[in-house]
Amino acid sequence: MKDSLARIVFCIFFGLLSNTVYADPPMAPFYAAVMKMSPDGKLGQVIKKEKIKSAIQGTQAWKIAYISSDVAGRKTISTGLIVAPIGQAPKEGRPIMAWAHGTTGSAQNCGPSQITNPTAPLNEYFLMDGNSWSDYGIPNVEQFIKEGYVIVATDYQGMGGGGRNQYAVAGTNAMDTINSARAASSMKEVGAGKKTIIYGWSQGGGAAIAAASLIDYQALQGTTADNLQYLGFVGLAPDDLAAMLSRPADEADANKILTGFSKVNAANIFSFSHYLMLIWGNEAAYPNIKMTDILTVEGARVADQLSSNKCVHVMADSLNYAYGDQYQTLLKPQPINSMAWVNALIDGSVKPVKPVAPVVIYWGSKDTGIPPIMHENYQKKMCSLGGNVATIQLPGEQTHYTTPGSSAPFYLAWVKDRIAGKPLENGCPVN
């Protein structure tokens, strides 16, 4: 009875029993203004910027909005953050570190640049020293500043810049990250040059390794900053759906794959919150798939309302309150249009193209969020194409959430060597 009453309250509150149309959550003036803008301009073009106070000594910082695009070739607007050293830049310009964040949500107000103190070092919700309702900040920002780098951190499209976020569509997230580097290179105030490293964690790790294989997109001319020099890509427990899914032979095969995929992602309510965002985001990316192919009508409404208004942790709380152990009732007993869905999930992930520069992946033995088999499969695929990919197990018993901190001593040195142009041994296993 209690569970039933909670569901009724939830449905009324979220408009599931009415035809109420809900607007985006309230936004700070910078983002509210950006959401009214059109994505007209060159890729990477900064269309709005606002200088903000930086928490890092000796730096200056800006919130930015810039032109990006998605896997369908549609122009979009992404927001983000730039932190740069104060003072004269070297003649060749400062190297660029482009950060791709992990999952914070998919609503307009979930972009990490919107936090009160966004320039701080990475602060994680789940860790004991977390001090916010969401992850925010930039890993090793202080160390990178000391090395003289410019750091740019995308929010991804749809997380402050209007439009519908394509959560976990790694190709789109990668384009947002590439265009953030173009935006940084184009801003005279920060003194950025062409040398670029992309690094990311979890969802953002997927964006980083996806960016490594978007060679044609990197090479596009007529952007606001052409010919960036990509020197390396760092994936901290990266998410790569293409490494876990195979192309279905027919609809029956696709049904089996998608049913299994749904089962894995519905293992607990927190994972299911991510899955609802993934379904919602992929529908935005690909017109030939619908949420109701996988979710019930009620499930699609819940996914739409929560994904567009709540960030990931509070989204999980709402699901838990309303559905408890009945959340799986939001899934259809059997999905439809499965072939289109599986192909979309693969197409939106990492392309089977040799990375343009070395890739290094760090992972922990206690990571239950991203299975390490993903990294092994990715390495095998890219090494077979001639790529240089290393996967490194972190010492101790590292979880998904301790990976960014525990990997820092390793990738800080790796990044410095790539920017310095030092030779690197091939990280692929020797057969």
DSSP element (H, E) containing 152: strand 150-157
Question: What value does the mean pLDDT take over residues 143-151?
Answer: 98
Confidence of residue 25 (pLDDT cuts 50, 70, 90): confident
Read off the pLDDT band of 12 (50, 70, 90): very low
Q: What average pLDDT does this structure show over 194-200?
A: 98
CATH 3.40.50.1820 fits 37-242+349-420, yes or no: yes
- With beta carbons less than 8 A apart as the criterion, state whether 54 and 61 touch: yes
Backbone torsions φ then ψ of 163, nearest 5 degrees: 80, 175
**Average pLDDT over every residue of 120-136:** 95
Q: What is the pLDDT of residue 157?
A: 98
Q: Is the pLDDT of residue 87 over 70?
A: yes
The whole-angstrom separation of Cα 373 and Cα 235 is 14
Mean pLDDT, range 85-101, rounded to an integer:
97
pLDDT for res 23:
59
Residue 99 binned pLDDT confidence (cut-offs 50, 70, 90): very high
Each residue's pLDDT tens digit, 332-369: 999 999 999 999 999 999 999 999 999 999 999 999 99
* Mean pLDDT, range 307-327, rounded to an integer: 97
Tens digits of per-residue pLDDT, 329-338? 999 999 999 9
Is the model's pLDDT at 18 over the cut of 50?
Answer: no
pLDDT, mean of residues 304-332: 97
**Please, what is the angle between helix 251-265 and helix 269-285, to 10°?**
140
Q: How much of the chain, in percent, has pLDDT values that exceed 90?
A: 94
**DSSP state string for 326-371:** GGGGGB-SS-SSHHHHHHHHHHTS--SS--SS-EEEEE-TT--SS-
Domain(s) of CATH 3.40.50.1820: residues in the chain: 37-242+349-420
Taking residues 9-27, what's their average pLDDT? 53
Residue 32 has pLDDT above 90, yes or no: yes
* pTM, 2 dp: 0.94
Instruction: Say how far residue 309 (Cα) sits from the centre of its chain.
Output: 18
pLDDT at 8 over 50: no
pLDDT for the residue 10: 45
**DSSP assignment letter at 36:** T
Give residue 21's pLDDT.
46
Supply the DSSP symbol for 105.
B
Residue 294 has a pLDDT of 98
State the pLDDT at residue 15. 45
Residues 6+ apart with CB under 8 A from 343: 247, 248
Q: What is the pLDDT of residue 289?
A: 98
Whether pLDDT at 17 is above 70: no
CA distance 373 to 369: 12
Q: Indicate the average pLDDT of the chain.
A: 94
Summarize the confidence of residues 145-169 as an average pLDDT. Answer: 98
